[in-house]
Amino acid sequence: MDAGRSATGGPDAAPLATRTATRTAARSADARGLVAGAIALVVGAVFGAILSSPAPLWGAGSVGAVAAIFAGLAGGASFAVGYVLASRGGARWRARRLWRHVLDTVGLAFTAAGVAVLLTSSLFAVLALAFRDLEVDRLAASAVVAATTGASALIMSAIASDMTTRRLSVLLGLFLLAGCFASMLTTEQPDWWRANFSTLGAGTAVSAATFNLTIIVAGTAILTLADFVTFDLHARSRRAERVHGPTVVRGLLFVVGVALIGVGWVPVSENEPLHKVFAYGLLAGFAALILVVPLAIAGLTRAFTSTTTVFLAVLLGMVLLYWPVGYFNTTALELLSVIVIFGWLMLFARTIGDPAESPRLLETADARSVGASARGLGAVAATPSAGFTGSTRSQGCTRPGSLGSARALGPLTVDAVLGISAGLAAGLLLGRRSSR
């Protein structure tokens, strides 16, 4: 290989520069997370010390209530900062206007904050059931609030450092799960399930406000997910046919997002006809999305299309069990349909967001930053080393803008939190029923 060619950004210099930039971004992301966690820890310790002593684990004026509030504030703030700093300058960021960046950042930050609040609340509610009548002094309360707040800031910063389509879909599903369970467990209508799912948002109680806010923020997150999905579809597309497929998918996701916002914005108790319009639009948009994706998007795996067929068959079976069989009531149909639909949506996001299936993603990296790094590392690249040969994919850099250790931490963190949240919600539900 010609040394001069490497010094000017030849085939060896570019991968080396990309890997070096990735390591630098990873160290910056880790540093941001540690700083955010440290600041949140100090703030949590200060406000935790204000609690009256002794303080209960859960309830009004409890350690858990204060920890949940500050976990949400710290998690949302650290997520917003981490997302902006990690995303700016990338191909996805440059392709969009400022107002869309503001909308995405605010929506995702609220989603992250909601996840932190709801999971922290569930955790302390379960702990209160496990350690009945336990109260802690001021020092212990300060330590608990500090640890919870710091952990929330650190985790959300790590997730935001490399926000991808698949990670956003998991965060969305986690947020909906936590918000809906919180509404179910705190509603003042214990027989809400006899009517329909929308009953959770009726009235002026805190549980109704929680449900409606969860639905609105989730709708905003789906609008952001639509742009992530479109970007990934264009990046992986290598064939000229079905060029309008990504646009169609984006339009259907936009319809779903707007309809979901409408469902939360117009509760069934305020305007039932308009609420039903949004609800039916939501179901129609999801049904059209599942039907259209295998037809409109080229290159999807046979496993995904087969799984989509299974999902459609399950949905059809549930509808038949609702009518004409009459085995399911409306709530059961709505709840199971939401689980199936969002399960498919997460599967779709994972399929199109798989770096190994997206050969063109590497071509969308910021050429200016890579070129500058290549020129600065020309002398090093002129002498190839066995440790720096091969493609970026073989070295673990499968996506431009990926953040090394933060990239590895993010999926593990999200999947772990998803599993823990499901367990906590189920435990809290069973505990509340057993205590009645």
Record the tokens describing residue 130, joined without a space.
């496990």
| Of 424, 417, 398, residue with least CA distance to 159 | 417
CA atoms of 203 and 196, how far apart (whole Å): 14
CA atoms of 245 and 397, how far apart (whole Å): 28
CA distances 177 to 99, 278, 310, 362, Å, are 29, 20, 23, 34
CA atoms of 129 and 162, how far apart (whole Å): 36
Record the tokens describing residue 139, joined without a space.
């020092």
End-to-end, the C-alpha distance of the chain in Å comes to 76
Are 57 and 64 within 8 A, CB to CB?
Answer: yes
Per-residue confidence (pLDDT) for residue 34, from 0 to 100:
80
CA distances 386 to 216, 383, 389, 393, 397, Å, are 52, 10, 6, 16, 17
| Of 264, 258, 247, residue with least CA distance to 282 | 258
Q: Is the peptide bond before 324 cis (omega within 30 degrees of 0)?
A: yes
Record the tokens describing residue 333, joined without a space.
């149909």
In eight-state DSSP terms, residue 135 is: E
Per-residue confidence (pLDDT) for residue 300, from 0 to 100:
85
Are 149 and 93 within 8 A, CB to CB?
Answer: no
Tens of pLDDT, residue by residue over 28-77, are 767 777 888 888 889 888 888 887 778 899 888 889 999 999 999 999 99
Every domain of the chain and the residues it spans:
14-163+403-436, 165-352
Per-residue confidence (pLDDT) for residue 233, from 0 to 100:
86
Sign for the pseudo-dihedral over CA of 230, 351, 286, 79: negative
Are 40 and 152 within 8 A, CB to CB?
Answer: yes
Average pLDDT of each block of 10 consecutive residues along the chain (436 residues)?
Answer: 47 55 65 82 86 84 91 94 84 74 88 90 88 90 93 91 86 87 84 89 87 91 90 69 77 94 92 91 91 87 91 92 90 89 90 55 39 39 37 37 36 46 47 44
CA atoms of 54 and 51, how far apart (whole Å): 8
State phi, psi for 164 to the nearest 5 degrees.
-115, 175
Per-residue confidence (pLDDT) for residue 243, from 0 to 100:
61
238 contacts: CB under 8 Å, gap ≥ 6:
299, 359, 360
CA atoms of 80 and 77, how far apart (whole Å): 5
pTM: 0.72
Are 3 and 12 within 8 A, CB to CB?
Answer: no
Count CB atoms within 10 A of the CB of residue 105: 18
CA atoms of 72 and 387, how far apart (whole Å): 43
Per-residue confidence (pLDDT) for residue 253, from 0 to 100:
94
Are 294 and 313 within 8 A, CB to CB?
Answer: no
Per-residue confidence (pLDDT) for residue 31, from 0 to 100:
77
Share of the chain above pLDDT 90, in %: 29
Per-residue confidence (pLDDT) for residue 18, from 0 to 100:
54
| Of 302, 300, 297, 334, residue with least CA distance to 315 | 334
Tens of pLDDT, residue by residue over 383-421, are 343 333 333 333 333 333 333 333 333 444 444 444 444
Query: Which class for 167: exposed (0-12), middle (13-18), buried (19 or more C-beta within 10 A)?
Result: buried
